[in-house]
């Protein structure tokens, strides 16, 4: 159950409600917003709602049937806006604009990453994706540059002025990565790595949480709940395709999920068309579909020279294809009342 208090309720009134909840053997958890305070009640509170609803300073009592509480729109009706400060101005995700995060699958060398960064900058992309730690199916494939890669991302941030985003796979790397990059990512394979999620909850950097390839929406939102419940409110959900019987492409982009998540949760929702598709040929149309269905942005792979890529070359857009995508996204975003942000 959630108790939403009227704006500017006094502290003694809040303390009084908390005491009444505790008297019933229930656990209150208080969230203080700018205007109003919300109290979550953990435990079996059935039968108590009328009693709490009749208290003067209570605006409404919401019975939450869903297991995800903090991620739900019942807890927070407005879409969460995640603001990231960059040296060339702030970028917001979830504020009604459409954000494109683009870049290579992995950091391969200084030359490759700086070239990619400069290309993105020229196109007006403000946030670069690139992984230093790679979750590869085979242990014999390229595993990423590790900390050296993080240092190169910092160089991109300082010298090219882009915001940078990267995946973290190991709990021990969370705090180190947070020193080098602006946004951390939990990859699909780690969506239910609960220790990693808890650690992501303790940092004050935005986290992109990818949906596991066989995760239900409920499991996805419960994974987000782990990060939120540990104190980090800056979670961005990312639909990246799910595993189905279809083998003609890498995964099946679950467009339904984007529409449903936008209804059920206040967290921004972005789409990764690259890992959904696995082939670059269909990335432009599925990206436009994502914008049309209400996504807040994209996480898309672009490589300066995909033929040479050490990872995911077949699904990486050529630079000119990313430029084409950005152009074609504009009218789609406008049609759904969003503006694509390009620098």
Q: Which residues bind ligand PEP (CB under 6 A)?
A: 105, 131, 135, 187-189, 210, 240, 272, 275
CA 337 vs CA 71, 159, 293, 302, 333: distances in Å: 24, 34, 12, 26, 6
Taking the least distance from each CB to ligand PEP, the nearer of 75 and 275 is: 275
> Which structure tokens are listed for 292?
């049309």
Instruction: Name the minimum Å distance from CB 312 to ligand PEP.
Output: 7
Residue with smallest beta-carbon separation from ligand PEP:
187
Contacts (CB under 5 A) with Mn ion, residues 185-224? none
Helices within the chain (DSSP H only): 11-23, 49-53, 110-123, 147-155, 174-180, 194-201, 217-229, 255-264, 273-277, 283-293, 319-335
* Torsion angle, alpha carbons of 201, 202, 205, 209, to 10: -20
Q: Is the dihedral of CA 328, 329, 332, 338 positive or negative?
A: negative
168, 199, 312, 329: residue in contact with Mn ion (rule CB under 5 A): 312
Q: Say whether residue 105 binds Mn ion (CB under 5 A).
A: yes
Residue 187 touches which member of ligand PEP, Mn ion, none, C-beta under 5-8 Å by kind: ligand PEP
Q: Which stretch binds Mn ion (CB under 5 A): 6-14, 98-106, 228-236, 287-295?
A: 98-106
SS3 (DSSP) at 82: strand
Report yes or no: 4 and 16 within 8 Å, Cβ to Cβ. Answer: no
Taking the least distance from each CB to ligand PEP, the nearer of 21 and 325 is: 325
SS3 (DSSP) at 301: strand
* Torsion angle, alpha carbons of 145, 146, 147, 149, to 10: 40
Residue 135 touches which member of ligand PEP, Mn ion, none, C-beta under 5-8 Å by kind: ligand PEP
Taking the least distance from each CB to Mn ion, the nearer of 93 and 105 is: 105
Residue 188 touches which member of Mn ion, ligand PEP, none, C-beta under 5-8 Å by kind: ligand PEP
Taking the least distance from each CB to ligand PEP, the nearer of 36 and 243 is: 243
Q: Say whether residue 181 binds Mn ion (CB under 5 A).
A: no
Residue with smallest beta-carbon separation from Mn ion:
105
- Count H helices and E strands in the chain, helices first: 11, 15
Taking the least distance from each CB to Mn ion, the nearer of 157 and 303 is: 303
Binding site residues, Mn ion, CB under 5 A: 105, 312
């Amino acid at each position: 159950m959630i108790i939403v208090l009227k704006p500017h309720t006094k502290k003694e009134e809040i303390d009084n409600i908390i005491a009444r909840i505790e008297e019933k053997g229930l656990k209150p958890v208080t969230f203080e917003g700018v205007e109003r305070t919300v109290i979550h009640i953990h435990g079996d509170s059935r039968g108590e709602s009328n009693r709490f609803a009749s208290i003067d300073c209570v605006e409404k009592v919401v019975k939450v049937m869903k297991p995800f509480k903090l991620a739900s729109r019942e807890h927070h009706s407005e879409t969460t806006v995640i603001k990231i400060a960059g040296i060339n101005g702030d970028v917001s995700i979830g504020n009604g604009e459409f954000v494109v995060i683009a870049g290579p699958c992995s950091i391969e060398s200084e030359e490759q990453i700086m070239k990619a960064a400069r290309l993105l900058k020229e196109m007006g992309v403000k946030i670069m994706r690139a992984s230093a730690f790679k979750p590869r199916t085979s242990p014999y494939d390229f595993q990423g540059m590790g900390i050296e890669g993080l240092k190169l991302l910092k160089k991109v941030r300082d010298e090219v002025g882009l915001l940078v985003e990267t995946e973290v796979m190991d709990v021990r790397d969370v705090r180190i990565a947070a020193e080098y990059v602006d946004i951390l990512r939990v990859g699909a394979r780690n969506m239910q790595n609960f220790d990693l999620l808890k650690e992501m909850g303790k940092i004050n950097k935005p986290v992109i949480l990818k949906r596991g390839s066989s995760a239900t929406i409920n499991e996805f939102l419960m994974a987000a709940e782990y990060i939120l419940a540990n104190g980090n409110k800056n979670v961005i959900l990312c639909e990246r395709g799910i595993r189905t019987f279809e083998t003609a492409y890498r995964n099946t982009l679950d467009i339904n999920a984007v529409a449903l998540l936008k209804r059920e949760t206040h967290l921004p929702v972005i789409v990764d068309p690259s890992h959904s598709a696995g082939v670059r040929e269909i990335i432009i149309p599925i990206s436009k579909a994502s914008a049309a269905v209400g996504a807040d942005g994209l996480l898309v792979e672009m490589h300066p020279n995909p033929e040479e890529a050490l990872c995911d070359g077949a699904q990486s857009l050529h630079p000119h294809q990313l430029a084409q995508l950005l152009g074609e996204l504009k009218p789609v975003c406008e049609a759904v009342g969003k503006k694509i942000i390009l620098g």
